Chain A
Amino acid sequence: MNSEELRNKLSEIKDKLTKIEEPINNRIYLYCEGQNAYAVNKFLFEEVPLRFVIATGIDSDDCFEIVYHYSYDETGCVVNLKAFIRDRENPEIESIAPFLPGAQWIEREMHDLLGIEFKNHPDMRRLILADDWPEGVYPLRKEVKK
């Protein structure tokens, strides 16, 4: 697939997305709500298919964001899927690890550092934090100062 075909392929899932942006060449940003993230990720990884790079959990002011980064190596395009989790009190999202084992660690990491719950994660244990770290303190949240 060339860049144009990749864009067409990505638009197949546009009913689950809120916005598609390409601010500069070879960098595509897709936006979706948290509840649609599982379906969109499955589409990106299995249907397009893209290579999973990593995900970034972000504590934005009014919500939590997870940016899933994918790479399309034929054209060198980075596809970023932004999923918004609006419920700040009980942040929760469907885990993508059941079909993408490469995402197991990063979901455990986001669970440790930001307190986001990943539903149906196959192995949700602490990854980064020590076993005696207090419950309910999430170091990457903005209220925790360095």
Chain B
Amino acid sequence: MKKTIRQPVIPVGPLHPLQEEMEYFQLTVDGETVTDIDMRISYNHRGIEKISESLQFDQVPLLVSRICGICSASHPLAYVQAVEEIAGVTVPDRARYVRTIIAEFERIHSHVLWLGLAGHFIGYDTVFMWAWKYREPVLDLLEAITGNRNNYGNLVVGGCREDIPDELIPKILKDMDELDKKMDMLTKAIIDDPILHARLKGVGVLTKEAAIKYAVTGPTARGSGVGIDVRHDDPYAAYSDIDWNVCSVPEGDVFAKAVVRLLETFEAIKIVREALKKLPKGPIKTEVKEIPPGEGTGRAEAPRGETFHYVRSDGGNRPVRHKARAPSYVNVPSFKASCIGQKIADVTITLAAVDPCYSCTERLAVVDKRTDEVLYDYDMLLKLSREKTEKIRKSF
């Protein structure tokens, strides 16, 4: 009997090896090298755009904040900006600043969360423990302001729901000083570690050309030298009043994306401090009575990239169409450019480097192309990734 030669295929999922959310990647491999990747998502599709068409304009922010627990400031922010664009509403100054501060708290805790997970994944559990410990006070601050650690629900069309109490400001500043010191220590430990350089540099490179073609955003784009950031390019909230820098590095590898996130954490701390210093007095919302017919686009720089919302109104009290695009929706397909040619042990950290969020937008296994047999599952891939770090560590 003639045998047909097939290449091994490695299924990864349906739970992401790092973020433990639902997605499925199928890697086609030749030996240890990945030759193709196929992705399947939507195991968690909740039909939010359809639900939104049945809700009133002021109910939608609470719905879209549930698109993602971590980006629960960015999605409502993009949405309310789209509706404010239709209604021609100007938001009070204090609300713009409160929005900025909440958005930056979100960025800090999201980036630090990613750092911890990435450390855990390559076998640096100390980084994991530290990072998550330092993240905790930020969540406490969010709780003190909005009442929730996640799903803050702090945004309404025309302003904010909860204000930052004056008596909390000294505590925020103190916590930011503390976090600044801790992150400085952690960053130096990471950036100076030769093992991490050997493990992460040159791994999962997304070139600038590919970043543009796949239309990626956020730290995924800025790690590949595409210096786009909605906060800078199309300023919203109070970003235009504050002096801060867009963090962009050209290398495109996993290390570059980590560096971008670390630098952005410091920028976020800086933005919070300055916003608190300039925080104007006054109301935090304006009354918006009716939403006229029209259409509007709103965007916000979420920790993972640009969140884009498009809303169309027919003059009624519900949107006739509401499109929400999370940054992972464009960042995840770029794996096609960054994973091919990689070794299996590097694929999982490459996938994680994008900080994909599948609730917003799903799985990984390795199958033998000749036999269709499943070669690796989650635990084996995690082991493989850690072993590679260990091997590098021993060679030093």
- Chain A: residues with CB nearer than 8 A to chain B? 23-24, 26-27, 29, 51-54, 56, 58, 67, 69, 71, 73-78, 80, 100-106, 127-129, 139-140, 146
Contacts and interface: CB of A to CB of B under 8 A. Distances in A.
Which of A67, A100, A104 has its CB near the most chain B CB atoms (within 10 A)? A67
Contacts of B213: 100-102
Nearest to A140: B50
Closest 7 CB pairs of A and B: A76-B234, A102-B215, A56-B323, A54-B325, A52-B215, A73-B233, A76-B233
B interface SS class? mixed
Interface residues of B, number: 36
Contacts of B230: 76
Contacts of A52: 215
B330 A80 contact: no
A76 B235 contact: yes
A146 B215 contact: no
Contact of A128 (B42, B53, B306, B308): B42
Given A56-B310, A56-B321, 5 more contacts: A54-B323, A58-B321, A71-B306, A75-B233, A127-B42
A56 B296 CA distance: 12
Contact of B215 (A26, A51, A67, A127): A51
A127 B212 contact: no
A26 B216 CA distance: 21
Interface string B309-348: 0101000000001010100011001001000000000000
Contacts of B228: 51, 73
B327 to A, nearest CB: 10
Contacts of B325: 53-54
B47 to A, nearest CB: 7
B85 interface: yes
Given A54-B330, A146-B54, A100 B215 contact: yes
B93 interface: no
B308 A139 contact: no
